[in-house]
Structure 1
Amino acid sequence: MGQNLVVRLKEKGYKNLLVIDKHAHNLAILSTMHPDVSTITADLAEPGTWIESLQGCACLIMLQARITGKTREAFIHDTIDSTRAVLGAVHKWQIPYIVHISSSVVVSAADDDYTQTKKDQEKMVVESGIKYCVLRPTLMFGWFDPKHLGWLARFMEKTPVFPIPGDGRFMRQPLYNKDFCEMIIHCMEQQPEATVYDIVGDQKIDYIDIIRAIKKVKRLKTLIIKLPMWFFALLMRIYALFSKYPPFTVDQLKALTAGDDFKGIDTEKQFGIKQTPFEQAIDETYNDKRYAKVSLQRTGIGK
């Protein structure tokens, strides 16, 4: 998300940008593409010089969270502890405004470590006494995505067979991160106070149709097969034994099949931003000559 946001901010003429991330490899990619942007490699949950770097900040956009992981402690550290430290720095330097990126999971049927810590994180921001707005996006996709649809697309390129849990008829409301960045910037500029926006992709699409759309725009020959839910879950458990950051956990499988139907604001009416049609957005994501081939490393951290 941060990589996309930098692109949009620069296109709009913003300068004096600072990006803080603890993943050195991905931050180095950003620095290569945008040498004019200041970067600091730091763990926001730990004390460091990053705190001093926020002095004079005009607006802070909070994107950090643990998305996947094997232990609750990892979620606490990367979501809760980091937020406590960031809010402390905001108070110290009297930063006037925060745009906090929460998640639709805080109003979903899901109940896992990611959901619980995102709820707690949002509550910390709301109760901080700092002027803020909160955006709750649904599943996002677009350039630079090392997880979610990005990982699925790369996996599809490498395998002749792509497994689908059950019948694949799990309704999703994917949100194009290009559109979402425009909404973040709108809030940064207009600074609505103590406001929470549920941001939902305005097209409802079944999971299997998302996979088919990716296959189509990438012109792949991959065979899509449907697996019984229990067998798919078993494969995920086995995969997690060997992967530090499993791309698809059993908890995420439960969330996928939870049947959420999110209700969001009219983004065109609220922000003046008409969402990009899904097929056009997928084509831009995987066929753009500038950024489609830029590959970030997968981590459990979202920035």
Structure 2
Amino acid sequence: MNILVTGASGFVGKAVVAELVRRGRTVAAGSRRGTDLPGAPGVRLDVTDPASVLRAVAEVQPDALVHLVGIIAEEGEQTFARVHLEGTRHVLAAAPRPVRYLHMSALGADEASGSGYSRSKAQAEALVRESGLDWTIFRPSLIFGPGDDFFGRVLRDLVSTAPVVPQIGDGKFPFRPVSVEDVALAFAEALERPDTVGETYELTGPQEYTFRELLELELGALGKRKPIVPVPLPLMDLMVPAMGILPKPPITRDQYAMLKAGNTAPPERARDAFGLPMRRLPDALPGILGR
């Protein structure tokens, strides 16, 4: 099977490519720079440019497409609509028929969401379901692993910068983080399981945490002891938009909306379908944080 992976140079992309290569698959690593990865030659592929996608597909002639491209925050022309929605449209239009298609969405994808990220992910899902391809959609929760942005940067900065740790509201928003290794395994296994065609799987980890518990885990893994101070939501509602004037705000409006919504779902369906080992966040945090 000849496989083209979009977003191959990203955090999840590298893990998925590595797992596919480990299984002896022929993989082309699609990214805007066409970066080679171990065992997978690079192919220039910019999902926002339909001609670029067509060229990559013509070059690789894939039997399977794994579409992973995504952004967490908008920057310039890289908007959620352009990357998630139009990018998916371009990939689907270029996909050869027949082709096996795996799609990275997100837990909480919802066209009625207050988050532009979650809305665009839901809109892209709708395109996939209408495509006529043999598709499988994955909706991961927060993904952890070496090189991740949330636990390795956002949460680390949040608990490290000030003498006290700010907590959003009562800190009870629930999350069920999933390891990047489990996500990669799910994608690789789906290509070997025809019964997963036309299915949507929520990818979550073995344990649910509140936002406060995530802050406490991060502090513990860093070897820090600091007071955690709740910040009332009405005050956060004022502070977060004001932070938007900063070159790189610690939290965007969209990330704030997603945090308040929480991010959790039962793990059993995906675990049983793909035989996932369900790696635990506390075991991985020291490595993520370089300790």
Residue aligning to 2:206: 202
How do residues 92-103 of structure 1 correspond to structure 2 at under 5 angstroms? 93-94=96-97, 96-103=99-106
Structure 1 window deviating more from structure 2 (200-209 vs 234-243): it is: 234-243
Once superposed, which parts of structure 1, at least 4 consecutive aligned residues long, lie more than 6 Å away? 70-73
* Match status 1:218 vs 2:244: no
Residue aligning to 1:17: 27
What amino acid is the match of 1:251?
Answer: D
**Equivalent residues of 2:31, 2:46 under 8 A apart:** yes
Structure 1 window deviating more from structure 2 (59-68 vs 99-108): it is: 99-108
**1: distance between equivalents of 2:185 and 2:162?**
35
Residue aligning to 1:291: none
**2: distance between equivalents of 1:235 and 1:95?**
50
Query: Aligned residues, how many?
Result: 276
User: Deviation string for 1:202-254 (max 9, x for gaps)?
Assistant: 3110111112112212223555332222333333222211236x452233323
User: Deviation string for 1:9-58 (max 9, x for gaps)?
Assistant: 33x24353222233x5xx76xx4xx3543223442121344422323212
Query: Percent sequence identity over matched residues?
Result: 22
Residue aligning to 2:166: 163
Aligned with 1:176 (options 175, 179, 194):
179
TM-score, normalised by the number of residues in structure 1: 0.79
Cα shift at 1:97: 0.2
Residue aligning to 1:299: none
How do residues 1-303 of structure 1 correspond to structure 2 at under 5 angstroms? 1-10=12-21, 12-22=22-32, 24=33, 31=36, 34-55=37-58, 56-69=61-74, 74-90=79-95, 93-94=96-97, 96-106=99-109, 110-146=113-149, 148-155=150-157, 156-191=159-194, 192-221=196-225, 223-243=227-247, 246-258=249-261, 262-287=265-290
Structure 1 window deviating more from structure 2 (266-275 vs 94-103): it is: 266-275
What amino acid is the match of 1:4?
Answer: A
**2: distance between equivalents of 1:213 and 1:73?**
33
**Equivalent residues of 1:105, 1:115 under 8 A apart:** yes
Q: Taking structure 1 as reference, are residues 248 and 14 closer, same or farther at Cα in structure 2, changes over 3 Å only? A: farther
What amino acid is the match of 2:175?
Answer: R
**2: distance between equivalents of 1:238 and 1:150?**
24
**Equivalent residues of 1:161, 1:222 under 8 A apart:** yes
| SS of aligned partner of 1:189 | coil
**2: distance between equivalents of 1:107 and 1:47?**
26
Specify every segment of 5 or more residues in structure 2 that has no aligned partner in the other structure, as ranges: 1-11
What amino acid is the match of 2:20?
Answer: L
**Equivalent residues of 1:144, 1:150 under 8 A apart:** yes
| SS of aligned partner of 1:201 | coil
TM-score, normalised by the number of residues in structure 2: 0.82
**Equivalent residues of 2:146, 2:288 under 8 A apart:** yes
The higher relative CO (CA closer than 8 Å, separation ≥ 6) is in 1
Cα shift at 1:82: 0.9
**Equivalent residues of 2:108, 2:263 under 8 A apart:** no
What amino acid is the match of 2:257?
Answer: K
Cα shift at 1:201: 2.5
| Cα RMSD after superposing both structures | 2.8
User: Deviation string for 1:80-120 (max 9, x for gaps)?
Assistant: 11111111110xx3352011111121259733321221111
